[in-house]
Chains A and B, each alone.
Chain A
Amino acid sequence: MSLHTAIVKAEEDKISLEKAKEFIISEKNGAESIFIGRVRDENSGKKVIAVTYDVHDQAVIKSFQSLCNDAKTKFDKSSSIFLEHAKGYVPVGEISILIAVSSGHRDEAFKICRYILEEIKHKSPIWKKEHYTEGNEEWLPGHSLRPKEEIK
């Protein structure tokens, strides 16, 4: 098995870098690329204390598997991919997303990592609500999945 995708409920578990490294390691793959996204303490001048991630579980898993398989087909069929995204309340400094890739060569490993991250932002139904130090909160704007020809 060379593909692992999951949504991790922040209240129950944490995304593990060690688990990811263990999953992708392979004697056939000489390059590894790991992307870690963490909750930042500032956005547009506002002090952030946490982000709540809302997720359409089924559709996200479906999209994760589809875009990871696309990446394999596009760049390296022998690559191993580990992809986890957090769901729920994630405090500043904690991991919200982890993409780990092992591939035959460095170029493909970097490309796969980047491709997956960008595709998630445009295809996977995940939403962010930021929580601020003042006690207020705000859903962040995003990318519409409505067919373009319908939006006027």
Chain B
Amino acid sequence: MEIQLKLYGSSKMLNDKEILNVDLPNNSNIKKLRSVLKKIISKKYLKNNLKNLPKTAAFFTEADEVVNDKYKLKNKELISIIPPIGGG
């Protein structure tokens, strides 16, 4: 399956476009997405900048609600990655 990851903040270093398509095994949950992200970060040599991202990021569904690690992802689902925030 594949999900669309909408990038915000520092996660924008992962791709030139706002959306990153991520391949995942069927029936993956957010926990699996975190481990796949870890691999993507090492592959792109972004470990120095984004080392903690898989651990510290939250994820929003299209309803703009934070989902926990057990949340089951659907094929083609749009998920927003929310790195640690700091506006104001």
Contacts and interface: CB of A to CB of B under 8 A. Distances in A.
A125 interface: yes
A124 B66 contact: no
Contacts of B84: 141-145
Nearest to B50: A139
B82 interface: yes
Contacts of B56: 144, 146, 151
Nearest to B7: A54
Main secondary structure of the interface of B (DSSP, over half): mixed
B82 A145 contact: yes
Interface footprint category on B: 20 to 34
B85 A126 contact: yes
Nearest to A61: B64
Contact of A121 (B8, B60, B88): B88
Nearest to A87: B87
Contact of B86 (A37, A56, A142): A142
Given A141-B86, A144-B56, A56 B66 contact: no
A81 to B, nearest CB: 15
A128 interface: yes
A3 to B, nearest CB: 18
B68 A56 contact: no
B86 A127 contact: yes
A146 B58 contact: yes
B27 interface: no
Interface of A: 37, 53-56, 58-60, 62, 85, 96-97, 117, 120-129, 139-147, 150-151
